Amino acid sequence: MTENYQGYSDQYIRYLELLAKEYPTQAATFTEIINLQAIVNLPKGTEHFMSDLHGEYDAFYHILNNCSGVIREKVEMLFNHSMTKEEQDNFLTLIYYPKEKLDLMSRKGELNDKWARKTLHQLIRLAKLLSSKYTRSKVRKAMPQVFRFVIDELLHAQVDEDKNRSVYHSKILDTILETGSTRQFIYALTALVKRLAVDHLHIIGDIYDRGPHADKIMDNLMQHHSLDIQWGNHDILWMGAAAGSPACIANVLRNNVRYHNMEILESGYGISLRPLALFALKNYTHDDGMDPMVKAINAMLFKLEGQVIFRHPEYNMDDRLLFHKIDLTTGTVTLDSGTYELTTTDFPTFNPADPYTLSPEEHCIMTELQNEFMQSERLQKHMRFLYSHGSMYRCFNNNLLFHGSLPLNDDGSFKEIYFDGRPYKGRSFMDHADHVARQAFLKRDTESLDYMWYMWGGPDSPVSGRVVKTFERSYIADQSTWKEPENAYFHLNRDKDECVKILHEFGIDSPQGHIINGHTPVKVKKGESPIRAEGKEICIDGGFCKAYQNSTGIAGYTLIFNSHGIRIKSHYPFKDVDQVLRTNVDMESDSMQVELEPKRVMIGDTDNGKKILQMIDDLKALLQAYRDGIIMERKEAN
């Protein structure tokens, strides 16, 4: 049948037949064409970018709540003439933390029907403004189930034109007040406002380590309506650890023991540190002021890393084999750059004749830990989510997103990296590294697990791109030895032409394209800018991580990309929710337009819009096939 119908291939006709199952009549087909056509003509939804969250759940949650200032802007736009600044601040705090704010107001006796009626009206007006960018069906889906019908009625009221409707809506509000469901209704409306303010979230890596509650961040992200994640080096470390790599496990432990984050491991993921703690107390001292547990895990770490390096000459990391160089008789270590005093000589498990083998007790502890990492249900669930929603890089609406670096030679050409004797570079390298990371989780083979460790600290790692100097940082006081040489990417990314070349490599040819990275804290205090390469590269690691706020001088950057362009937001340090409730502080300190779009970006201009336009073409072809009798309608399906 229909071999040459309209010049379409058999395969395309088969596709149309499949499509006909979902749209079995002409009416169903043109209805969908009209719906989709309406969508492509709406302004593009707002994208929100965050990076380097480093376990700082409260700050992350606040910025997620205030949508990097998007809600404040809308409130100002709507209510600048009718609400004082203080009223707006109170209203915003209610939107960010409805439960806590209502509890506080109730304690103060500030809740009454007059306030409730006014506030509900204001929330409805705000939700209405925010919903104007979306189809009614999308807004309806975004509404909490329980109040879906009522909110839908209230949002789509033509109050001014039709007095009857206005009375009708006023009655709905009366009923809400009378039935005592104001609180639930406020929860529903504030959730809707936040849901509508941002259409899609990007997390550019490093959710884990340093701060205490990456597990809570993961729980929250798992509830998010639409997001993607680009893996950071710390995430990769946890992914490797959860897949059973001993070297990754040792690094995770080190990172968290040093920051006293036992909670995430013990109560968060049910991984007991007791055997390690007991072993450390029995075998290590407090004498030099160093934490016995850190010393115990460090020794295991350098042995395990040594084993990986021996297995992989192709990593070219022999110069990181330093553990055997320590000299306990002199208390020194000799590196290429000189001989340095060790900050500790407490190495009870060090065997100069066999420096890279774990002692029997260390071996037992590591085997037990490996089991616990691999069997922790919650950890495995979080890691599965990192795999299902994450990747090494992402191209999204003309932006190229990745956490760390893309290996480059000094002359700016893409550096060739060999796997199994085959060279990969540029995009194919990133794709291959992504593939190996997935293999590590699926197959748990030593080869892929070792590469997970490499990505944490190897010089040509796509997520890091530095030679990580953990040994020197652990045992040598002289900080000149701590400097971590970086891949050429980190200075070449200041060059516009280089960035444009990289964007082309990833198929982004638009003049509006950008590279968006995290990973390297922007030291604002030293005059560094997050916007480089004449706007082509943006780095948003501004220091959610409290430990780094002294050097960055701020508490994080986020990006907002809406239909008008891209803005970068810098944030003040976040203290806690109590402070927000007491003072209504917001974290946003500064907002800067990075780029204005030459014309307003509509959904039809986005990646998703292109797919919708393709779908419209296919549906038009299906409609024609019905009309030409090539495919028969199935009326009964209606």
Ligand X SMILES: O=P(O)(O)OC[C@H]1O[C@](O)(COP(=O)(O)O)[C@@H](O)[C@@H]1O
Q: Give contact residues for ligand X (rule: CB under 6 A).
A: 206, 210, 233-234, 466, 468-470, 473, 484, 519
Burial zone of 129 (CB within 10 Å; 0-12 exposed, 13-18 middle, 19+ buried): middle
Cβ at position 390, least distance to ligand X in Å: 16
Q: How far apart are CA 253 and CA 273, in angstroms?
A: 9
* Nearest distance from C-beta of residue 503 to Mn ion, angstroms: 22
| 523-530 contacts, C-beta under 8 A, 24 or more apart | 523/551, 523/552, 523/553, 524/552, 524/553, 524/554, 524/570, 525/551, 525/552, 525/553, 530/557, 530/568
24/521 with CB nearer Mn ion: 521
> Which of 46/233 has CB closer to ligand X?
233
Q: Which is nearer to ligand X, 62 or 519 (CB)?
A: 519
- Which listed option, Mn ion, ligand X, none, makes contact with residue 466 (CB within 5 to 8 Å by class)? ligand X
Q: Closer CB to ligand X, residue 257 or residue 299?
A: 257
- Determine which helix (DSSP H) or strand (DSSP E) holds 132, and give its type and residue range: none
Note whether 491 and 379 are within 8 A (CB): no
Min separation Cβ 409 and ligand X, Å: 22
Tell me which H or E stretch contains 558. strand 557-562
C-alpha span between 484 and 440 (Å, rounded):
27
Q: In this structure, which long-range contacts are made by residues 250-253, counting pairs with CB atoms below 8 Å and at least 24 apart in sequence?
A: 250/297, 250/300, 250/301, 250/304, 250/305, 250/366, 251/301, 251/453, 251/456, 251/457, 251/470, 252/209, 253/297, 253/301, 253/369
CA atoms within 13 A on the CB side of 592: 14
Q: Based on CB atoms, which residue is closest to ligand X, 210 or 546?
A: 210
| Residue 190, contacted partner among ligand X, Mn ion, none, CB below 5-8 A by kind | none
Element (H, E) at 585: none
Which residue's CB atom is positioned nearest to ligand X? 468
Residue 486 contact among Mn ion, ligand X, none, beta carbon within 5 to 8 Å by kind:
none
Residue 468, binding choice from ligand X, Mn ion, none, Cβ under 5 to 8 Å by partner class:
ligand X
Closer to Mn ion by Cβ: residue 120 or 538? 538
Residue among 303 and 466 whose Cβ is closer to Mn ion: 466
| CB 246, min distance to Mn ion, A | 22
Q: Whole-number minimum distance, CB 508 to ligand X, in Å?
A: 25
The residue (of 283 and 558) whose beta carbon lies closer to Mn ion is: 558
At closest approach, how far in Å is the CB of 613 from ligand X? 39
Q: What, of ligand X, Mn ion, none, does residue 415 touch, CB below 5 to 8 Å by kind?
A: none
Residues that bind Mn ion (CB under 5 A): 206, 232-233, 519
* Smallest separation (angstroms) from ligand X to the CB of 297: 14
Helix (H) or strand (E) holding 592: strand 588-596
Closest approach, Cβ 618 to ligand X, in A, equals: 44
Token reading at 272: 């007991």
Amino acid letter for position 91: F
432 makes contact, choosing from ligand X, Mn ion, none, with CB < 5 to 8 Å by partner type, with none
At CA 113, angle to CA 110 and CA 117, rounded to 5?
Answer: 110
Nearest position to Mn ion, beta carbon: 519
Identify what 484 binds: Mn ion, ligand X, none; CB under 5 to 8 Å per kind. Answer: ligand X
Cβ-based nearer residue to ligand X, 16 or 468? 468
CB of 206 to ligand X, least distance (A): 5
